[in-house]
Structure 1
Amino acid sequence: MVEDQSQLESHEPHHRSEFEQNARVPGAPVEKVNPLGSQVTLLSAVMLNLGQITGSGIYAVPGVILNSVGSIGMLLLYWIIAPLFAFAGLALYSELASMFPNRSGAEVVYLEQTYPRPRFLVSTAFATTTILMSFSASNAIVFAQYFLTAFEVPITPSRQTSVALAVVFITIGSVVFSTKWSLRAVNTLTTIKVASLAFIVATGIAVLCSLTRVQDPFANFQDLFSGTSTNANALATALVKTNHAFIGWHNAFNVLGEVKGRDPVRTVRKASFISLMLATVLFFFINVAYIAAVPREDIRQSGQLIAALFFRRVFGATFGSKVFPLMVACSCFGNIARSSFHQARIIREVARQGLLPFPSFFSSTKPFGTPLGPVALKGGLSVIVILLVPAKDAFNFILDLASYPHLVFQAAMSAGVWILRRRRVIANVPPSPLQAWNGAVIAYLISSILLLVLPWYCCGLYYWIWIRVLPQFGGYEIVEEIDELADGARNTRLVRRYKHTADNDHEPLLGRLP
């Protein structure tokens, strides 16, 4: 028996963290030597984060947000508030990573270790959601649309599908054949994206200095908070959209096991801090540039075309119609390459937990030293979605499908840090050297919950006040009336029916709702 036990111990990895040695939870084993190698540098980690943060959102959402919040001042304030939650999340991720410094996959690992009971429940839920949402169809479709637009090729369903499939095969291929070259591709494409955003900031400075043809660049900065919306649902929706623009700051935690150096956790934490700071500054001043160049009402009505309107106002229709589509297409191309790289690591960790069929295939790094199985799975799902979803509906369908699942696991992981801390105490393991401030953990947990339920809560609150509270205090109830229109159309009109009577005849007094 002693001999068997010693043999078992001899097979234990020598670089388990102290917490893993004393408070192990069933899950994927720690690998003595990462078969994927250690090729992720500080620069690569920064670029993996920035590659997703600097997606197409900053080109599209400011106009939508202004339409929700109502004022320029609130628009700028939202771009200051949103990254604060991301910095709180960074503190949380750093603590969790320090507990499991040898594991890639981030949330895969943290949820696996935090919620081992009921057995496999949380891990299976996360695995299923992650795999089903791992496709890059939305970025491929947007790339196809803007690529065709830049070269003045009419967009048809067949052309959009063909270009989208082509870009998926190209990016997937680069990740399959070489980790080194795929990282170089991510670094190059992200550098181009950041340079493009810096160009917008520089252009905004030129506008403010009256060096362009834009007249009165400070007009929108007068009465900054004039017109601020009081609609709670609109304000909540705007916060969701602003927060979404910063998603991706934690991508480097997914490749923690491949980071060079003696202290990969601190390297990744530093990379995330750098990328968040850079994105925060760029995004804020890009919004300033939009505000300086485009009239307020035009921004409100621009929808998702604010950046295109900015280029048209500053450089004219020809320049804007050529350069802007290429910038967005480049951004989408980089996003596909970046997501293929880090999501393949997440899927591989899921396979190592034993939650996928053929785990040996999906965890293997043969023949190229890359996660071939996970990359192929991600590429296959992308192809299926592109082919099956109608071209005109694909983008909105995919965004709606992928909106909320991540927030559920994010909230569970935020609360789970206290569970892991308690286990460390029970196992007589010292606190993490990167332990997050409780205020930051609470802020990140609250933000996760609010982003998940706030739009629905605001709708419910509005309904409760409108249908329940105001009628009770106003002495009326809301009833329906049928309107007959001159052309024969019929519709329902909601009206107030007051409970007091007129002339004691007990007939209701009807008043039209505002």
Structure 2
Amino acid sequence: MLNIGQILGAGIYSVPGVILNSVGSVGLLFVFWLLAPLFALGGLMIYSEYASMFPKRSGAEVVYLEQAYPRPQFLVPVMFAVTSVLLSFSATNSIVFAQYVLTAFDVPITSERQTIVAVTVCAVSMAFVALSTKWSLRAVNFLSGLKVLSLVFLVFTGALVLGGFTHIRDPYTNFLSPFSGSTVNPNSLATALVKTNFAFSGWNNAFNVIGEVHTRDPVRTVRKAGLLSLLLVTCLFFFVNVAYVAAVPKDEIRNSGQLIAALFFQRVYGGSFAAKTLPIMVALSCFGNIIAVQTIGQTRVLREIARQGLLPYPIFFASTKPFGTPLGPVCLKYLLTVFVLVALPARDAFNFLLDLGSYPNLVFHAAMAIGLWLLRRRRALASLAPSKYPARNIYILLYLTSIVFLLIMPWVPPEPGHSDVSFWYATYCVVGLGILAVCGVYYWLWIIFLPWMGGYTIMEEVERLEDGALTARLTRKYHPSVADIDNGEHQPLIAST
């Protein structure tokens, strides 16, 4: 449920039209919906090996990267921390929620209305998460089940269309000459893969809380959950796309933007009750995804980052007062979400934010794939036992190849009419690299310049929490001349201003 709750969000209801517009053919559309889970499988094997090395630590990437790249000291954790903070918005699902709600109630979609509804649903979901973790988890479980049922219903409807039981004429038209119109433009293919990867994002969600999985073999539990959820979602997504292609003309799919599911319901059910109800179910799926990501995934990562002393005001961001929830990370996510929703043009916001959110993370995922080889070598030199769940090199190479492709190919100019934004096609690449540059500047200020100015050195201390888990935090060790003033005491970062 943790994995499915994050995967089944806006992706399957919003990106197929954009993908078809990028690749140009129905055949390539289906190919990309099979490639994405294959690459995700490689990532799942990599995460499993990392998790088997550190089975008691939650936080996933922030932990694995820290262990794989200990030098330069604190560089990787700090860069991952700043990137996680700057990209911790929930705008994409909020935008799709707004579009489907407005469509369901026959309200014309304008930039102002879309932004207002998106900001409102984000506020409601944030409040839900901030007030109660238990009820948030219950909502995730309920909405995850609803998401699966809605997709099963959509697949069943597609079967009826293909069987000739609806008023759709010639449902097999789009399947004739499936690769006609295919593109070989690297930018368009990379854009399509970014979108399908977005639809499958969440297959690793359970690794974020592996330290809280109380079974005999937590890694095996989480690994099996990842495989099962990936298999289930792959089947559902593939046949949902079959349903779209059977019911909606190819040109209409290409021009549907994020409303392919609404268009499908209208084509099959006309103006009936189902055509109004099912878009509401899509909106609820987006709402459930916002809660799942904020409750279980990103807020836990942000809280772990704060506990390590990598952010200013870590006490605020690590605290669970007054409701036993990560209130600080939730508030930060809401402010960032509102900012990007208001700052970007509404018609380009979804595609741009989706692309932007993927690019810096690709750098970290590449580092994780390479870091696994480095960590294996160091552990072998230290005579440590190999991982219980080693990832085969073919999985690592497969995952790394897809990442390198997505890092390089978006710089190639797309074919006319195939760009997914109205401005320069590689803007998100430049902004993504700019975010990484901000990380480097932050590292230099936080770890090098300010300690030099203040006469102290950044040290790492290991702390045992109340539940017995170990966590690391950065502290200040003052030089002797300053330490005399401070009575020789080490001053922790979390107590500093």
Pair in the same fold by TM > 0.5? yes
- Candidates 207, 221, 243, aligned match of 2:175: 221
Which of 157, 167, 174 aligns to 2:128? It is 174
Specify the code of the residue in structure 2 equivalent to 1:305: L
Q: Partner residue of 2:328?
A: 373
C-alpha distance in 1, partners of 2:108/2:312?
Answer: 43
Residues in 1 aligned to 2:110 and 2:36: alpha-carbon distance in whole angstroms: 37
Quote the Cα distance in structure 1 between the aligned partners of 2:349 and 2:34: 32
Shift of 1:390: 6.0
Q: Distance between the aligned counterparts of 1:453 and 1:353, measured in 2? A: 33
The separation in 1 between residues aligned to 2:7 and 2:71, in whole angstroms, is 34
2:212 to 238, 258, 271: 258
More deviation in 388-397 or 367-376?
388-397
Matched, 1:420 2:420: no
- The partner residue of 1:432 within 387, 390, 396 is 387
Secondary structure, counterpart of 1:213 in structure 2? coil
Cα displacement (A) at 1:323: 3.0
Q: Are 2:354 and 1:399 equivalent residues in the alignment?
A: yes
- Aligned partner (choices 261, 266, 269) of residue 223 of structure 2: 269
Name the residue aligned to 2:256.
302
Equivalents in 1 of 2:351, 2:253: separation in Å? 22
CA distance in 2, matches of 1:333, 1:303: 20
Q: Is the 8 A contact 2:66 2:76 kept in 1?
A: yes
Q: How many pairs does the alignment contain?
A: 414
Structure 2 Cα separation of the partners of residues 241 and 81 of structure 1: 12
Task: Report SS of the residue matched to 1:245.
Answer: helix
Distance 1:356 1:451, change over 3 A: same
Counterparts of 1:392 and 1:300 in 2: how far apart (Å)? 15
Matched, 1:94 2:48: yes
Give the superposition deviation at 1:56: 1.8
Partner of 1:502: none
**Cα distance in 2 for residues equivalent to 1:237 and 1:137:** 19
Q: Distance in 2 between matches of 1:420 and 1:218?
A: 51
What is the distance in 1 between the residues matched to 2:113 and 2:258? 23
Alignment match, 2:298: 343
Q: State the alpha-carbon separation in 2 of the partners of residues 263 and 223 from structure 1.
A: 49
Query: Relative to 1, partners in 2 of residues 1:262 and 1:365: Cα closer, same or farther, differing over 3 Å?
Result: farther
Helix, strand or coil at the partner of 2:30: helix
Q: Which aligned pairs between 1:43-62 and structure 2 lie closer than 5 A? A: 47-62=1-16
The aligned residue for residue 445 of structure 2 is none
Q: CA deviation at 1:70?
A: 3.0
Contact 2:261 2:279 in 1 (8 A): no
Q: Of 64, 68, 79, which residue of structure 1 is paired with 2:22?
A: 68
Deviations 1:473-494 (A, max 9, x none): xxxxxxxxxxxxxxxxxxxxxx
Letter in 1 for 2:358: S
1:492 is matched with: none
Pair 1:149 & 2:103 matched: yes
1:362 aligns with 2:326: no
Per mean C-alpha deviation after superposition, the further-off stretch among 144-153 and 154-163 is 154-163
Match of 1:313 in 2: 267
Query: 1:424·1:431 contact (CA, 8 Å) conserved in 2?
Result: yes
Q: 1:48 to 1:96 in 2, by over 3 A?
A: same
| Post-superposition offset of 1:134 | 0.7
Q: Which amino acid aligns with 2:303?
A: R
Amino acid paired to 1:359: P
Alignment of 1:135-146 (within 5 A): 135-146=89-100
Report sequence identity in percent.
Answer: 63
CA drift of 1:394 comes to 4.4
| 1:312–1:319 Cα contact (<8 Å) kept | no
Does the CA contact (< 8 Å) of 1:176 and 1:370 recur in 2?
yes
Match of 1:208 among 152, 162, 183: 162
Q: Aligned with 2:145: secondary structure?
A: helix
**Aligned counterpart, 1:291:** 245
Residue aligning to 2:405: 450
TM-score by length of 1: 0.75
Change over 3 Å in CA distance of 1:393–1:367 after alignment to 2? same
Change (3 A) 1:355 1:154: same
Q: 2:59·2:304 contact (CA, 8 Å) conserved in 1?
A: yes
Q: Which amino acid aligns with 1:102?
A: K
Q: Which residue of 1 aligns with 2:84?
A: 130
Distance (Å, rounded) in 2 between the aligned partners of 1:218 and 1:310: 15
How far does the alpha carbon of each residue in 1:317-363 deviate from its partner, in whole angstroms, 9 at most, with x for none? 44575234313321221121011111110001111221012223322
Shift of 1:389: 4.9
- Contact 2:9 / 2:93 at 8 angstroms: preserved in 1? no
Change beyond 3 A, Cα 1:83–1:396: closer
**Residue deviations 1:404-447, cap 9 Å, x none?**
11111111111100111112112211100001001101111111
RMSD: 2.4
Unaligned stretches of 5+ in structure 2?
A: 416-497
Deviations 1:67-116 (A, max 9, x none): 33333222222222221111111000000111111111111101111112
Q: CA deviation at 1:280?
A: 0.4
Match of 1:331 in 2: 285
TM-score (norm 2): 0.77
- For the pair 1:184 / 2:138, whether they are aligned, the reply is yes
The separation in 2 between residues aligned to 1:397 and 1:447, in whole angstroms, is 20
Residues 137-194 of structure 1: CA deviation (Å, up to 9, x unaligned): 3322332333233234455666545433432232222222332221111111121112
CA distance in structure 2 between the partners assigned to 1:168 and 1:231 by the alignment = 36
Q: Distance in 1 between matches of 2:410 and 2:115?
A: 33
The CA deviation string for residues 179-214 of structure 1, in whole angstroms up to 9 with x for no partner, is 222111111112111211111100011111111111
The one-letter amino acid of 1:127's match is A
1:343 counterpart SS class: helix
The one-letter code sitting in structure 2 at the alignment partner of 1:139 is N
Shift of 1:224: 2.9
**Counterpart residue number, 1:410:** 365
